[in-house]
Amino acid sequence: MKPIFLTLALFVAVAGFAQKVESLPAPNAKKMLKMSLGQTLQQRQSIREYSTKAIDSQTLGTLLWAACGINRPADGRITAPSAINAQDIMVFVCRADGTWHYEPKSHSLILITAKDLRPAVAGRQTFAGEAPVSLLLVSDLGKFRSPHMELGAMDAGYVSENICLACTALGLATVPRATMDKDILIEALGLGELQVPLLNNPVGWPRE
């Protein structure tokens, strides 16, 4: 997909034209993320083996909210700190049924392509392609006054750490990764020059 297609897909979504949208159940942080911070930090670890069991939408919705969902509806700020509140990190949810963009405002997924991009996210580390979900973090550097790769990378780190901690609390397995086939992902998602894939987190239930 060329950059124009991603822009078009997002425009179409905003304008309310037909667009495949998956609404996520409201995040249930109180019930699902009740592990103490101390215990969460104690248990956080990189895990590289996953069950193929699907992740239900309530769990996925709570995980995405923890990653960078809106925690202050009054001003639209999010769970992850963000340099100059640019909220530059785009989260793509890569699954067998296609690749979706997480839209924090509507807490929903917008289909970008029907392609399963998990192998491209996995790159040479094929274990990552076995997880039912891969979360790809892309910084939209165009959201800064001038493109600032360092700020984008730091913002991606915060979102990825939120994912790591939320996975621990939810009983999910993940590992933050810089490995991926960026060229394939840029082409398939129609990313623009200032939209840079930086990190990804394969996510699955731990393998028995």
Ligand X SMILES: Cc1cc2nc3c(=O)[nH]c(=O)nc-3n(C[C@H](O)[C@H](O)[C@H](O)COP(=O)(O)O)c2cc1C
User: By the criterion CB under 6 A, which residues form the site for ligand X?
Assistant: 45-46, 125, 175-179
Minimum gap (Å) between residue 35 Cβ and ligand X: 17
Query: Based on CB atoms, which residue is closest to ligand X, 24 or 156?
Result: 156
Q: Which is nearer to ligand X, 61 or 176 (CB)?
A: 176
In order, the DSSP letters of 46-115 are: ----B--PPPPHHHHHHHHHHHH-EEETTTTEESS--GGG---EEEEEEETTEEEEEETTTTEEEEEESS
Considering the complex, state which of residue 45 and residue 57 has its C-beta at the smaller distance from ligand X.
45
Q: How far is the CB of 176 from ligand X (least distance, A)?
A: 5
Inter-residue contact 183 to 191 (CB < 8 Å): no
Least gap, CB of 178 to ligand X (angstroms): 4
Name the minimum Å distance from CB 75 to ligand X.
30
How far is C-alpha 130 from the geometric centre of its chain's CA atoms? 17
Is residue 153 a contact partner of residue 78, using CB atoms and an 8 Å limit? no
Whichever of 109 and 137 has its CB closer to ligand X, that residue is: 137
Are 192 and 3 contacting, i.e. CB atoms less than 8 angstroms apart? yes
Name the minimum Å distance from CB 190 to ligand X.
24
d(CA 7, CA 174) in angstroms, rounded, equals 30
Nearer to ligand X, 71 or 179 (CB): 179
